[in-house]
């Protein structure tokens, strides 16, 4: 143990020296995006609960009443008694939302990506991934390389670079995987251009709509719906932990691919099923949003307000304020916190070196005045604090 402790202490010291040491803030949420720690109160710009569904009283009340009667549900894997009519109903509604034949629930969005990617891996398979894809995609690809698959990363949103790889590749099976709304940059993948390549190179297309589901498209189905290309997406991966305000992940796809994943995806087979409270909450969110789109409209109104202060028309609810230097980014975040705002510093390895930033998350629960005050202060601090 002493040898291990020495190694651990050395690594912690190295992380601290490189400004990479992180610590979670203990928060107690009060109202909307107002949060407090043990000592201070803040307006939070950290949440991925984009529509405020986790705190929607109508939805939460319905979910609680149901859960009082049925509890947490069977604590077992889906294939060993942990699958209920509520899980089945949620899969059906997610499939309908995504315009797919069916869907498969996972215990998290992270596990959904791991399960989908590794299930497709093999010695005759090549994966082509956007360089800015989420860590869960990277980890799935790392495992896939161990299983014999080839992995190539094309430049972010660069379809020409992707095509260069596709032209040279001789693998029998090809898979292209991209986020549709990138979680750290807030920009959107050129899905139509990627699909144009699909017709020429015959690859399987996997998209991760974690941050886009319920936000984009007329029905809230995501970027694929917004672009009108839902049918061209083979596997649409999503999460219930963001705009749903819940927990879990899913893959919406064809019946045959679902059956394949059910029998091949280890992160599905060997994980406990979603607890019924979050399953029922997610069901209630879908039902609620089919009849009420006010929260989605409010979110986009807030995005337009923020656009006036950033000097550009924002594409999404994710607003990256790229500073570059890690020390300056951490300093800016610290000063904002002292002024009553939570805006976390994001740095390497989450983003490339030299691209440290504040990642601002806008939600439907943010008040107009809070957005105006925050971005006004941020612009002032960028002109003063960062010049120190």
Chain segment 130-140, per-residue pLDDT in tens: 999 999 999 99
The pLDDT value recorded for residue 241 is 96
Q: Indicate whether 286 and 381 sit together in one domain.
A: no
373 within domain boundaries: yes
Least Cα distance to 59 among 297, 245, 275, 218 occurs for 245
Q: Indicate whether 216 and 364 sit together in one domain.
A: no
Write the CATH number for 274: 3.40.640.10
What is the distance between the alpha carbons of residues 102 and 261, in angstroms, rounded to a whole number? 12
CA atoms within 13 A of residue 225's CA, in its CB half-sphere: 18
Q: Indicate whether 244 and 347 sit together in one domain.
A: no
Q: What is the pLDDT of residues 282-308, one digit of tens each?
A: 999 999 999 999 999 999 999 999 999
The pLDDT value recorded for residue 385 is 65
Q: Indicate whether 86 and 139 sit together in one domain.
A: yes
What is the distance between the alpha carbons of residues 132 and 28, in angstroms, rounded to a whole number? 32
Write the CATH number for 27: 3.90.1150.10
The pLDDT value recorded for residue 25 is 72
Q: pLDDT tens digits for the chain (388 residues)? A: 778 888 888 888 888 877 677 777 777 776 678 877 777 789 999 999 999 999 999 999 988 888 888 888 888 899 998 899 999 999 999 999 999 999 999 999 999 999 999 999 999 999 999 999 999 999 999 999 999 999 999 999 999 999 999 999 999 999 999 999 999 999 999 999 999 999 899 999 999 999 999 999 999 999 999 999 999 999 999 999 999 999 999 999 999 999 999 999 999 999 999 999 999 999 999 999 999 999 999 999 999 999 998 888 999 999 999 998 888 898 999 999 999 999 989 988 888 888 889 999 999 999 999 999 999 999 988 877 666 4
Q: Which two tokens stand for residue 143?
A: 């495992």
Q: Indicate whether 256 and 347 sit together in one domain.
A: no
305 within domain boundaries: no
What range defines the domain where residue 275 resides? Answer: 57-291
- Is the distance from CB of 239 to CB of 78 less than 8 angstroms? no
User: Is the sign of the CA dihedral 293, 295, 300, 305 positive or negative?
Assistant: positive
The pLDDT value recorded for residue 69 is 86
The total number of structural domains that make up the chain? 2
Q: Indicate whether 43 and 94 sit together in one domain.
A: no
324 φψ region: left (φ > 0), alpha (ψ -120 to 50), beta (else): left
Q: Indicate whether 146 and 255 sit together in one domain.
A: yes
109 within domain boundaries: yes
Q: Indicate whether 212 and 247 sit together in one domain.
A: yes
What is the distance between the alpha carbons of residues 113 and 99, in angstroms, rounded to a whole number? 19
What is the distance between the alpha carbons of residues 136 and 107, in angstroms, rounded to a whole number? 13
Q: Indicate whether 227 and 130 sit together in one domain.
A: yes
14 within domain boundaries: no
The pLDDT value recorded for residue 242 is 97
282 backbone dihedrals φ, ψ, rounded to 5°: -65, -40
6 within domain boundaries: no
């Amino acid at each position: 143990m002493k040898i291990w402790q020495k190694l651990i202490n050395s690594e912690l010291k190295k992380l601290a020296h490189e400004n990479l040491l992180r610590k979670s803030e203990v928060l107690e949420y009060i109202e909307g995006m107002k949060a407090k720690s043990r000592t201070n109160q803040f307006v939070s710009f950290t949440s991925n609960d984009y529509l405020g569904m986790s705190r929607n009283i109508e939805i939460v009340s319905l979910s609680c009443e149901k859960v009082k009667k049925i509890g947490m549900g069977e604590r077992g894997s889906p294939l060993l008694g942990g699958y209920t009519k509520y899980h089945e109903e949620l899969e059906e509604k997610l499939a309908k939302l995504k315009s797919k034949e069916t869907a498969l629930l996972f215990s998290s969005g992270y596990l959904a990506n791991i399960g989908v990617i590794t299930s497709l891996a093999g010695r005759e398979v090549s994966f082509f991934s956007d360089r800015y894809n989420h860590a869960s995609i990277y980890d799935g690809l790392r495992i896939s390389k161990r299983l014999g698959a080839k992995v190539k990363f094309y430049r972010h949103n660069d379809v020409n670079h992707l095509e260069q790889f596709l032209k040279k590749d001789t693998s029998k099976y090809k898979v292209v995987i991209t986020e549709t709304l990138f979680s750290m940059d807030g920009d959107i993948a050129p899905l139509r251009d990627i699909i144009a390549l699909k017709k020429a190179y015959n690859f399987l297309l996997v998209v991760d709509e974690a941050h886009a589901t319920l936000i984009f498209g007329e029905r809230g189905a995501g970027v694929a719906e917004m672009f009108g290309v839902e049918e061209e997406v083979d596997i649409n991966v999503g999460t219930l932990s963001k705009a749903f305000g819940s927990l879990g992940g899913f893959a919406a796809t064809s019946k045959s691919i679902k059956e394949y994943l059910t029998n091949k995806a280890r992160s599905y087979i060997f994980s406990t099923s979603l607890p019924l409270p979050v399953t029922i909450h997610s069901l209630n969110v879908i039902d609620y949003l089919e009849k009420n789109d006010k929260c989605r409209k409010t979110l986009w109104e807030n995005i337009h307000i923020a656009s006036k202060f950033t000097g550009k028309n924002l594409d999404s609810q994710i607003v990256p304020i790229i500073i570059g230097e890690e020390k300056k980014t951490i300093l800016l975040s610290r000063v904002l916190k002292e002024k009553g705002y939570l805006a976390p510093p994001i740095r390497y390895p989450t983003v490339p070196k030299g691209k440290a930033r504040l990642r601002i998350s806008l939600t439907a629960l943010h008040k107009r005045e809070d957005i105006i005050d925050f971005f006004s202060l941020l612009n002032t601090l960028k002109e003063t604090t960062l010049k120190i």
